[in-house]
Structure 1
Amino acid sequence: MGIKPIRAVRAADLASARTASDRAPLIARLAELHGQPDAPAWEAPVALGARQRLPAFPADALPDWVCAQATAVAEFTQTPIDLAGCLALAALSTVAGGRAIARNTKPVSALSDPKVMRAVLDSAVTLLDGSLAAPSTVQRNRAILHNACEYAVELNLLARNPVKVIKWKAPKASSEIDRRSVVNHGQARRLLKAVWDQQPSGPRLAAFFAVLYYAGLRPEEAVNLHRENVTLPQLVWDEQTENWHEPADDWGELRFCTASPEVGAEWTDNGARRELRRLKGRGEGEWRHVPVAPPLTRILRRHLETVGPGPGVRAFCGVRGGELATITYRRV
């Protein structure tokens, strides 16, 4: 004689039972199921931190030549087949996406049509969200399109550059600076004072940010400044007060020809986070001369006297004497 099957009891049934009389039959069924000898046993609970054995990567589902290539790469690199297989799937999806783009994209020769070319130029005026782009952005987009068409002419894909033929004017860019968006001198002094008050790196960073504000240097240029790049006027000895005083012409100069932008240790040859390069927009070995106003002269003079140059005679360094890290001055 077989065992009478018992309907499973759901948690929702117990939750919907409002009275004791409604819950009684449900509890009875649970007790009967618990006492049934052939009832299926629950699986052992699995700890949250326990690692389960993942199923093997289905390499056989790939095309034969892709499976053979992925298996060979995994064996050569001594890595799981999962890595090579996922990379193969990514490559296949890229190729498939490229074919889709080719089917839905016009050939380069279509730019010779004035209507198409004008539509492309009109699209350079707006951003992806449909809003108007800044005049400088429009001019940059037009320059990129012009160079691309010039390259197409070199490859004989176009008979001539259509950008030169179309009578289309980009909006003029204004070189005037909105004074409302620029920090004035009073605000700059308060900001530098707030930086100075932050410990422990504040006194070192105050002069760094002062160079960015007063001299207009880029961070990668200021980080690479050395003591020899900073020229400050000498103090004048006053016989009456018997003290050193600032000269009447308290202007200095910054003179440098290299910068060290942070590109990441994985992208440099020596494993350093920064790479020494020429100045942006200038030729190799071309020097830049920046005048130092009297307020910045006083800040730099105090910085060199109190903090002093760092290792390698760098003008700015970290608290522990190393190179000034980007994250240090970005936190401010």
Structure 2
Amino acid sequence: MTTSYKVKFWGIRTNTRPQQGKKPRVVSHTVRWTVAGREKSSTFKTKGLAESFLSSLRQAAKNGEAFDVETGLPASLMADRDARTWYALAVDYVRAMWPHAAAKTRAGMTEALAVIVPVLVKDLPGRPEADVLRRALLEYALLPADRRPDPVEPQIARAVRWLEAASLPVRAVEDTKHVRAVLEAIALKLDGTAAATSTYRRKRVVFHHVLEYAVELGELSANPLHKVRFRKARTGGEIDRRAVANPAQVRQLLTAVTYVGRSRGPMMAAMFACMYFGGLRPSEAAGLRRQDCHLPDHGWGLLTLEKTRPESTKRYTDTGQTHEERGLKHRERTATRPVPIPPELVAILREHIATYGVAADGRLFRTASGKPFSGSTVAKVWREARLYALTPDQVASPLAARPYDLRHAAVSLWLNAGVHAPEAAERAGHSVEVMLRVYAKCIDGQREVANQRILAALNS
């Protein structure tokens, strides 16, 4: 470690963010100083924290302490800086968040950290292969202690020991080169090609939350992510209009599903119909029960959605099963959502119940053993049905490529039919803002209507 007594302090710099029509908003305060002529800085959320840190630096210089040229810190602050590593912080963060997170959230959180933690390491000899480090984190280190396998594979144990020794101190990310390295890593897939913008954004959110957690614990003075300008192309989340099937195509697909397999396809047909005629998410259809359905002999029916059955890896669920019963997405556990359904779906559900019955808990859609259909099985049946129902060119296109596209087709149909956005949003379980942002480009005829209105105004 190279040290120097040549230290110079500058005044605290206030960082602001412009606001349209208003005075700039103060967002942080930066302490600046030099050690042996090399500029150093540390940013804090409040001026009080910045002043306290600057005071500590001045006091250390006054006491004759040597400053580390690399970090810019005196010996008295170096001990605190190296108190905890990124590996330890990640493990602690997962332990704290796990009880309050859904299985899919747990999976997304650990997937992101399995990319982030191996980036924030020293260049120590004996680094394990990337896939071994990933397995060590996903299958052992980032799981609660009672979910970790016993015994541990020798190569996994070695990888964990290497991570414990090589992991950088938490405060190392105050050097923004490490933050940028993480952002560059999460912007790539495992094969080194560019990840989708939505994937990058999800992992960046996890990184942001972990940094905020470190600030909350006092491990960091401020979130350094805000200092790095790293942007992937923005995405509005709009669906591809080429994926939206029309009613005739959907009916062909639903018929084709019944031709797949001896029983799998026919038992799933009504589930796919719920995704289209009711606009249900796949997890909502999987959780639909007989007691949730009002199916009159004539006219419209009503589904009162309450339970969902999202699918995840067993290690992330509380039950140890791949499907876990939960409430509606982004709602309180006891919340419900009424969804009116047309007579066509009423008839389909009545026939399904008469033919196949329901599970012991009332669920409509399940295997012969009573379990929910796996996502891979559902996708396989749908792929085969597309081969039967669509032309070769359509099969090669994005048209109804996934079962979820049935929901997109449903909501697009409602909007095209003139259903008001608030009503369509309520049925779909969206906010109006998300509804219009995601489906705006799938509302056919808007350009023609706008053109006619502009002509009328010009000729008035």
TM-score per shorter chain, which class? Answer: 0.5 to 0.7
Structure 1 unaligned residues grouped into runs of 5+: 1-86, 236-246
Question: Matches of 1:149 and 1:185 in 2, distance apart?
Answer: 47
Distance 1:168 1:259, change over 3 A: same
Whether the 8 Å CA contact 1:138–1:171 is kept in 2: the answer is no
- Which of the numbers 311, 315, 327 marks the counterpart of 2:364? 315
Q: Which residue of 1 aligns with 2:238?
A: 176
* Deviation by residue 1:119-140 (Cα, 9 ceiling, x = unmatched): 3333332323332222211211
Whether the 8 Å CA contact 2:366–2:373 is kept in 1: the answer is no
Letter in 2 for 1:288: R
- Residue 267 of structure 1, CA deviation: 9.4
Aligned positions of 1:94-243 closer than 5 A: 94-198=156-260, 199-200=262-263, 202-235=265-298
For residue 160 of structure 1, give the secondary structure of its aligned residue in structure 2: coil
Distance 1:145 1:201, change over 3 A: closer
Whether the 8 Å CA contact 2:214–2:220 is kept in 1: the answer is yes
- Asked if residue 326 in structure 1 is aligned to residue 373 in structure 2, the reply is yes
Aligned residues: 229
Structure 2 unaligned residues grouped into runs of 5+: 1-149, 382-460
Whether the 8 Å CA contact 2:176–2:228 is kept in 1: the answer is yes
Question: Matches of 1:146 and 1:226 in 2, distance apart?
Answer: 39
Question: Matches of 1:114 and 1:318 in 2, distance apart?
Answer: 52
Higher relative contact order structure (alpha carbons within 8 Å, sequence separation ≥ 6): 2
- Residue 143 of structure 1, CA deviation: 0.8
Whether the 8 Å CA contact 1:125–1:132 is kept in 2: the answer is yes
* Deviation by residue 1:165-212 (Cα, 9 ceiling, x = unmatched): 334445312222112234443332122112224534544322122113
Question: Matches of 1:330 and 1:283 in 2, distance apart?
Answer: 29
Aligned positions of 1:248-327 closer than 5 A: 250=300, 252-261=301-310, 275-304=324-353, 309=358, 311-316=360-365, 318=367, 323=370, 325-326=372-373
Question: Matches of 1:99 and 1:271 in 2, distance apart?
Answer: 28
Question: Matches of 1:267 and 1:175 in 2, distance apart?
Answer: 27
Whether the 8 Å CA contact 1:304–1:315 is kept in 2: the answer is yes
Question: Matches of 1:266 and 1:156 in 2, distance apart?
Answer: 31
* Deviation by residue 1:233-263 (Cα, 9 ceiling, x = unmatched): 552xxxxxxxxxxx4xx4x332121124567
Distance 1:107 1:176, change over 3 A: same
Which is higher, the Rg of structure 1 or of structure 2?
A: 1
Distance 1:305 1:129, change over 3 A: closer
For residue 153 of structure 2, give the secondary structure of its aligned residue in structure 1: helix
For residue 255 of structure 1, give the secondary structure of its aligned residue in structure 2: strand
Question: Matches of 2:178 and 2:373 in 1, distance apart?
Answer: 45
Question: Matches of 2:192 and 2:318 in 1, distance apart?
Answer: 42
Question: What is the RMSD computed on CA atoms of the aligned residues?
Answer: 3.7
Identity %: 38
TM-score (norm 2): 0.42
Distance 1:123 1:263, change over 3 A: closer
For residue 207 of structure 2, give the secondary structure of its aligned residue in structure 1: helix
Question: Matches of 1:330 and 1:191 in 2, distance apart?
Answer: 13
TM-score (norm 1): 0.56
Question: Matches of 2:204 and 2:320 in 1, distance apart?
Answer: 38
- Residue 161 of structure 1, CA deviation: 0.7
Distance 1:140 1:221, change over 3 A: same
Distance 1:291 1:131, change over 3 A: farther
* Deviation by residue 1:112-157 (Cα, 9 ceiling, x = unmatched): 1133323333333232333222221121122111111112223332
Letter in 1 for 2:268: L
For residue 258 of structure 1, give the secondary structure of its aligned residue in structure 2: coil
Distance 1:205 1:97, change over 3 A: closer
Question: Matches of 1:167 and 1:331 in 2, distance apart?
Answer: 42
- Residue 228 of structure 1, CA deviation: 2.5
